[in-house]
């Protein structure tokens, strides 16, 4: 009898029930008593045991069943059960996302914070290990679990080309390079690898992919776009099932989906028209009619929703003068009601502040406009109490309807339930082995190979320079970007704006060349050689690697798109005296027409990331050139914007251009 009662008590003491301290004390005492009886330490009349069992059983059965904590219950019922238990303060907390630098277990518990993020270069420590990241995220998570209802937080990060904020993570080519591959299956694999590396640090949510359609390369985020052609961007939304898992065929369209602890919630961004702003100025006005907006900038969002994307981020930009963060018709109306998106909509960094000009001029108005437009989670990284107090006041005074709050919170909870956060809120170290794994680096190297676009090969078609000979006597490698992992990775790498130098693990293009040529071949590196140096050394050929310095967002807006010095001088000093291939490292097409005649071969390598060996693999013929231009390569900036399909289309190299070579491993 005693063992049977013991089993009943243990089964009744699960997390889906709530029991008072008194009830738990009774259970503990009874268990001890039964243990002593079974060991014949005391003799207790059977009727006393029976009375105590019945009393304890009555207490347990009075405990409240927490349906929302029961993983066997359908998600909609769990949401409904949890919603009816929540106070207004708890709901507003769920709508609030704050930066890790101002977050703490106490803050999360006090304000019921729903989400924490790392900004572009916000880390727990310089060169922090995966284990350090896991510990930090778990500490924050304990704050969510310690709240009255135990709602876990979701932690977000800008993992836009791999887990790029984390030291020693695999850095994949930026999206513009992936667009050149025309390989959705490859992009899906990159999504899967990125998900594993993000989970390796305990994080469950990435603000990726950017599915902008870059219509003007002057835009500082153009490298975050796969292409100027919406059909290419649509194909590359295959990264979403890579990040989240393949959505089951039985799932309703528009419902978010995350397939377990090795996948992460994705975020399609930036809704809508961010790649079409006037002069490519970041956050500027996109002046197009509704047909162009829906036919060029919208289709990839429809694909993303069909593939179960969990969240969508709103753009800083405007459409015909209306800020997207305040555009009710496109967020609540089109995205939610017409496309039936059932995940949550998140603002950009301090995005509602920018509804007014200057930013934060009237924050009360910004809250009203942003939340009423349909934004569910508000990224208020630092001044979160101002937002929480403001939104709570507005709801209590019926300025913002509680029905709008309920819609937002249901969507946030749907994503959290779907991804299993309630069942597995805390991370362990079991996935740390995936951070920067060799398998992922090989995948990134393959992506580099496939992303390279050969624009010119030989001063005449019958005398190609590429592939280069591995058996040359003496080879010159020159240029600012030849031995610089930070430069070849670009922005959003370790730091928000990127950095110069060998800032993380990887292979530079120079080291890739040295690894590839014969042992007898002398590789001479001179970053910025004088013409006299080049003429005197009798080089067989030269590889010149130049391009843009790193940048991100508005800092990358550029109205002239020239290669900065000393890039042009290096091209002149080298290519005037020796056969040369110029490898252009950039997030977009740049002005190269003035130098083209003196260059033998030109390769657009985009921003290849940490695996520079992939560039050498193709230059020396181990693999052929297969990449195709994802963007029109203009002759001069005064032609911009210029896109394939325009009536006046006169490019230096058209969209889709790319010379091919075949592998030749014995040269």
Query: Residue 270 burial by CB count (10 A; 0-12/13-18/19+): exposed, middle or buried?
Result: buried
Asked whether the CA dihedral 230, 232, 234, 239 is positive or negative, the reply is: negative
Q: What are phi and psi of 267, to 5 degrees?
A: -145, 110
- Is residue 657 within 8 A of residue 629, CB to CB? The reply is yes
Q: Count other C-beta atoms under 10 Å from residue 333's C-beta.
A: 14
Give me the count of residues in the chain.
667
Nearest Cα residue to 494 out of 125, 85, 105:
125
> In the chain, helix, strand, coil percent, each to 5?
40, 15, 45
Query: Residue 51 burial by CB count (10 A; 0-12/13-18/19+): exposed, middle or buried?
Result: exposed
Angle at 279 between CA 274 and CA 283, to 5 degrees: 35
Instruction: Give alpha helix (H) positions in 63-183.
Output: 75-85, 88-94, 105-111, 130-145, 175-181
Q: Across-strand partners of 477? A: 525, 543
Nearest Cα residue to 455 out of 665, 606, 579:
606
Of the residues 553, 557, 611, 617, only one is catalytic, namely 553
Query: Which DSSP string corresponds to 275-326?
Result: GG-GGG-TT-EE---HHHIIIIISHHHHHHHHTT--EEEEPSSEETTEEGGG
Using CA atoms, how far apart are residues 653 and 360, in angstroms rounded to an integer? 44
- Is residue 561 within 8 A of residue 504, CB to CB? The reply is no
99 is catalytic: no
348 is catalytic: yes
Query: Residue 459 burial by CB count (10 A; 0-12/13-18/19+): exposed, middle or buried?
Result: middle
Query: Residue 254 burial by CB count (10 A; 0-12/13-18/19+): exposed, middle or buried?
Result: middle
- Is residue 328 within 8 A of residue 373, CB to CB? The reply is yes
Contacts 24+ apart (CB under 8 A), 17-22: 17/60, 17/63, 17/64, 17/65, 17/66, 18/63, 18/64, 18/66, 19/59, 19/60, 19/63, 20/59, 20/63, 22/59
Query: Residue 64 burial by CB count (10 A; 0-12/13-18/19+): exposed, middle or buried?
Result: exposed
Of the residues 348, 483, 548, 557, only one is catalytic, namely 348
Using CA atoms, how far apart are residues 574 and 491, in angstroms rounded to an integer? 28
Q: Count other C-beta atoms under 10 Å from residue 514's C-beta.
A: 17
Query: Which DSSP string corresponds to 389-438?
Result: HHHHHHHHTTSS-HHHHHHHHHHHHHHHHHTTTTT--S--STTGGGTT-H
Angle at 625 between CA 619 and CA 630, to 5 degrees: 120
Using CA atoms, how far apart are residues 580 and 602, in angstroms rounded to an integer? 9
Using CA atoms, how far apart are residues 130 and 124, in angstroms rounded to an integer? 10
Nearest Cα residue to 416 out of 307, 209, 264:
264
Using CA atoms, how far apart are residues 639 and 636, in angstroms rounded to an integer? 6
- Is residue 483 within 8 A of residue 510, CB to CB? The reply is yes
Q: Across-strand partners of 562? A: 591
Using CA atoms, how far apart are residues 1 and 145, in angstroms rounded to an integer? 37
Instruction: List the catalytic residues.
Output: 348, 553
């Amino acid at each position: 009898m005693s063992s049977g009662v013991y089993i009943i008590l243990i089964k009744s003491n699960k997390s889906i029930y709530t029991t008072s301290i008194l009830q738990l004390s009774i259970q503990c005492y009874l268990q001890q008593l039964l243990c002593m009886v079974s060991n014949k330490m005391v003799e207790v009349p059977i009727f006393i045991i029976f009375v105590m069992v019945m009393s304890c059983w009555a207490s347990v059965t009075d405990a409240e069943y927490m349906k929302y904590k029961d993983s066997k219950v359908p998600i909609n019922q769990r949401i409904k059960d949890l919603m009816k238990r929540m106070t207004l303060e708890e709901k507003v907390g769920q709508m609030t996302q704050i930066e890790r630098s101002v977050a703490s277990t106490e803050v999360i518990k006090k304000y019921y914070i729903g989400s924490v993020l790392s900004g572009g270069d916000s880390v727990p420590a310089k060169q922090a290990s995966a284990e350090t990241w896991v510990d930090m995220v778990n500490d924050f998570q304990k704050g969510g679990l310690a709240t009255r209802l135990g709602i876990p937080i979701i932690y977000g990060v800008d993992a836009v080309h791999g887990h790029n904020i984390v030291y020693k993570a695999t850095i994949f080519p930026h999206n513009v390079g992936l667009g050149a591959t025309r390989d959705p299956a490859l992009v899906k694999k990159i999504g899967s690898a990125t998900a594993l590396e993000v989970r390796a640090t305990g994080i469950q949510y990435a603000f990726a992919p950017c599915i902008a359609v870059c219509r003007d390369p002057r835009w500082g985020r153009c490298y975050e776009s796969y292409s100027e052609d919406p059909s290419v961007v649509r194909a590359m939304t295959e990264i979403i099932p890579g990040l989240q898992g393949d959505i089951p065929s039985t799932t309703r369209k528009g419902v978010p989906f995350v397939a377990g602890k090795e996948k992460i919630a994705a975020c399609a961004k930036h809704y809508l028209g961010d790649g079409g702003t006037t002069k490519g100025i970041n956050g500027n006005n996109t002046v197009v009619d509704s047909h162009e907006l829906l036919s060029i900038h919208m289709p990839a969002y429809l694909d993303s929703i069909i593939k179960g994307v969990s969240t969508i981020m709103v753009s800083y930009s405007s459409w015909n003068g209306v800020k997207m963060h305040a555009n009710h018709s496109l967020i609540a109306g089109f995205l939610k009601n017409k496309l039936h998106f059932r995940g949550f909509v998140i603002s950009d960094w301090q995005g509602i502040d920018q509804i007014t000009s200057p930013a934060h001029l009237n924050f009360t108005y910004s809250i009203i406009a942003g939340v009423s437009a349909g934004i569910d989670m508000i990224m208020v990284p630092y001044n979160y109490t101002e937002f929480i107090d403001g939104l709570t006041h507005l709801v209590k005074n019926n300025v913002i309807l509680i029905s709008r709050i309920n819609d937002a919170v249901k969507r946030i909870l749907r994503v959290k339930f779907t991804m299993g956060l309630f069942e597995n809120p805390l991370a362990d170290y079991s996935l740390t082995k995936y951070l920067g794994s060799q398998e992922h680096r090989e995948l990134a190297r393959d992506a580099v190979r496939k992303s390279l676009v050969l624009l010119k090969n030989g001063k005449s078609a019958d005398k190609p320079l590429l592939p280069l000979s591995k058996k040359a006597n003496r080879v010159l490698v020159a240029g600012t970007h030849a031995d610089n992992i930070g430069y070849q990775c670009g922005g959003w790498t370790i730091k928000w704006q990127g950095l110069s130098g060998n800032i993380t693990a990887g292979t530079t293009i120079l080291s890739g060349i040295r690894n590839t040529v014969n042992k007898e071949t002398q590789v001479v590196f001179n970053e910025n050689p004088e013409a006299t140096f080049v003429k005197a050394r009798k080089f067989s050929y030269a590889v010149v690697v130049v391009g843009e310095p790193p940048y991100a967002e508005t800092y990358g807006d550029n109205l002239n798109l020239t290669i900065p010095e000393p890039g042009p001088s290096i091209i002149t000093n080298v290519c005037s005296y020796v056969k040369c291939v110029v490898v252009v490292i950039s997030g977009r097409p740049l002005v190269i027409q003035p130098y083209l005649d003196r260059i033998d071969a030109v390769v657009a390598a985009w921003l290849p990331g940490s695996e520079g060996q992939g560039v050498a693999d193709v230059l020396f013929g181990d693999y052929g050139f297969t990449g195709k231009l994802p963007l029109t390569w203009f002759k001069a900036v005064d032609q911009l914007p210029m896109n394939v399909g325009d009536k006046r289309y006169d490019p230096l190299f058209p969209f889709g251009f790319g010379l091919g070579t075949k592998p030749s491993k014995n040269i």
